[in-house]
Homo-oligomer: A and B are copies of this chain.
Amino acid sequence: MSERVFINEVGLRDGLQNQPRHVPLDGKTRIFAALQQAGIAQFEATSFVSPKAVPQLADAADLMAAIGTADVELSALVPNLRGYERARDAGVRKVAVVLATTETMNRRNINMSVAQALEACVSVISAAKADGIGVRAYVATAFACPFEGQVNEDVVYDLSARMLDAGADEIALADTIGAGHPEQAKRLFAGAVSRFGAQRLAAHLHDTRGMGLVLAWIALEAGIRRFDASIGGLGGCPFAPGATGNLATEDLVFALNEGGYSTGIDMGKLVEAVGVVEEILETRQGGKIIPWWRCRRDTATQAASRP
């Protein structure tokens, strides 16, 4: 039997939060349904962030009410204790906290030091554990910070350990700006696996520079079996045509299915879900696999005469 790899779909949160076009609740539930239909069983569905900061996700509680009874694992990002309480009251059974690795990033993002940001995460983790709610903890900018450059792995291990000690169930090592490179990924993932065990780790990769799948493969080699991905590669810079954001779910699932892993996800239906996203956003979306998938017969014939 082939080995199982778990995909956590983050398009509805990490993908949409950056979309200039407003997606109404109905659009979100349609995307969710198409993904569930394809076999996606784990979603980071939304964020209980301030509606003023991210208007796109202002309907977090409504979305949870709409999809909360589905037979899948749903989580929601919470930026602080207030967000946590909103999430809990909306029936969320698993929350995600975010901790960036550098002083500059935390200062610019949430006006806290790393120590303060860690404390804020720990307070959410403690509250959630007391309420019997699961917690995933992102170590954001685990590879590089846009302000301070490459991040030392020891910082990542230290922050991970502190959040696990506080009670987090899982650490998601996030290449927030898609700046990780292969050698670094090899060290970081192997080091994290040896310290914390692959079971408690996930990789959250962005494909900004086209390296998402290479880094995913390296994580897989290191033993990691949990990956975030975003349908259609949603989450790219909206001002950069063609620039991808999160690693596209369809690219990752295709590579995993081809690589002999079991994802439980149907590629054909996943590509249909990309179509739903395109219809709702009224723009062309999709990972690298999409153009080929959509014209694969032509390609096979065309290419037949070339080395």
Contact = CB atoms under 8 A, between A and B. Distances in A.
Contacts of A208: 292, 299, 303
Q: Summarize A's interface: helix, strand, loop or mixed.
A: mixed
Interface stretch (A56-64, A127-135, A255-263): A255-263
B303 A176 contact: yes
Number of copies: 2
Interface in A165-179: 172, 174, 176-178
Measured as residues with beta carbon below 8 angstroms from the partner, the interface class of chain A is 35 or more
Nearest to A97: B307
A306 B305 CA distance: 45
A288 B215 CA distance: 15
Given A183-B259, A208-B292, A259-B181, A299 B243 contact: yes
Interface stretch (A26-34, A112-120, A193-201, A233-241): A233-241
Contact of A295 (B240, B254, B260, B294): B240
A108 interface: yes
Contacts of A242: 290-291
A291 B237 CA distance: 10
Interface in A262-307: 287-292, 294-295, 298-307
